[in-house]
Structure 1
Amino acid sequence: MNPQTITADASGTWTLGDLEVNRIGFGTMRLPQHGKALIPDAVPGDRDQAIAVLRRAVGLGVNHIDTAAFYFSPLRSANELINRALAPYADDLVIATKVGPHRDMRGEWTEHARTARELRGQVEENLRQLGRDHLDLVNLRIVGHDSIAERFGALAELREAGLIRQLGVSNVQPEQLAEAQAIAPVVCVQNAYGIGLRPECDAFVRSCGEQGVAFVPFYSVAGSGGQAGVTSPDQDSVLAVARAHGVSAAQIRLAWTLHRGPHMLAIPGTGNLEHLEANIATGALRLSDEELASLDAVHRAAAEV
């Protein structure tokens, strides 16, 4: 398998409301800095390299890019990099962003936006940075288990006003998804999930598929390492499957998430061109029933620890 010749359409497609995307997308969280993301003293990444990665991603068929206004380092903003690299935007390019969390100019986390005014301000901030008159997809990012009705309702009003095309939710529980769906259509759930990461959410993942809601896992490669990236060695079963296919353990982790259902959309992020090509090539990987059973066992074992 030559990663340089495999494009994102090898992963198949899914429709987010009226927006069709390839199931392998690209996450921009790591573009603005080196090392750990979303910290005040992050080391800015190379601007030209980030722009090259974005353009290469689109050149390889990626048409689903995940971003947020709070993805920035002292000198770099993911939204600004997207604007510089990809504007004027292709008609089929779907840019998904998130609102709710907020960082001040120093990069410190502050209170989440909770009022309609604060959420509209975040939507307008994304519009300005991306240079757009509407946002394709906005995910309401949640912390906690409280009601999201007021916040999601505010975004639904912005959708009615034409500033947002589709809505999603992030870091939510099943009851919060149901609460949002009672207000406006929800096209995706964006939660942390991967081999050994939140196996207790398996039923929720299946339920989303049954409802026609895309599930967009983040940290599917990093696992429990989260923003810091991979912090522990891969299990023998994962490495064995990787060797059998001549690919990396990271690619197997991505492939496993895609095999969880046709509604699964991967958004791996990287600032490295070779890693980008490898991630996109994962869409062409086909795992056998025996390999999936082996990986599923690793996943389930995490719930027993």
Structure 2
Amino acid sequence: MKETFYQKKGLAIEKIAAELFLLSKDDRMPIISELQEKYELSRGTVQNALSFLKEVGAIETESKGHLGTYIKEINYQILQSYVVKDQLTATMPLPYSKLYEGFATGLYLAFKKGDIKLNMVYIRGSEDRIEAVEKGLYDMAVVSRFAAEHEIQANGNIDIALKFGPKSYLSEHVLLLASKKHKTIMDGMRVGIDRDSLDHLMLTNEHVQGKNIELIEVPANQLIYALRENQIDAGIWNYDEIIDKNYEDLNVQFIPLKEQHKAMNEAVIICQKDNLVIESICKKNIAIEKMLETQNKIKNGTMTPRY
């Protein structure tokens, strides 16, 4: 069937399949002249593309006279095979915690079930992941809701396709201190900061405000190493890794949960602004409850990670 993509009408089939993918059963079909104008196609090309999609079982339509033509049946898997030609690309944080391994596994299994090849790239730093989506390097990215909403407010170049609820991104942030005698950041300390992570940057600035400290650039996932090597005296990090790796020797101080911190704990999937097809593909293939179930199974050790 996909040999059609190598013919002239292939592009028309792809565009119209994407258009129909956003519709539901009983929705009114777009008028041919509207599709002609929107995609700069001839009437015959649009008619041929629609006929092809009907022949392969992607849609079945019903005419209702002057009311127009309506979708009687719609097969999203067939439509999707023409919208997603080869694979989808996504990026998420390095899976250093079981929670992230669970999220990566959930995504892999969701798209595998939908017969979509997912090419996942792991990039440190929410800013870099967001920028990669904005530039079109990847179809989607996993970031915290805080990072996504911050970018939407600042530039408006992305949309949130799916939200996964509280503690789906991480359980909580904690303050790590090199010395056992301290419970907070003190004047004169060297504090690790990762400016590529919006969450980490905001939390660190919040904790050092008004204090005479030295900020040391450290990738967030190397904070524990930097503490142990006496490169820094304090830093904020993800509690999940500390639990997963049983770092009992660390001085861990819990951070009082504020309203803005809740957005940092929730995972979301973002895509380019107004990319309704990617949003729809995510919503039609990813069952949030199933994702969270997979995440919990891997976190609890009752399932082997696959990603």
Q: TM-score, normalised by structure 2?
A: 0.22
- Larger RCO: Structure 1 or Structure 2 (Cα < 8 Å, ≥ 6 residues apart)? 2
Q: TM-score, normalised by structure 1?
A: 0.22
Choose between structure 1 and 2: higher strand proportion: 2
Name which one, 1 or 2, has greater alpha-carbon Rg: 2
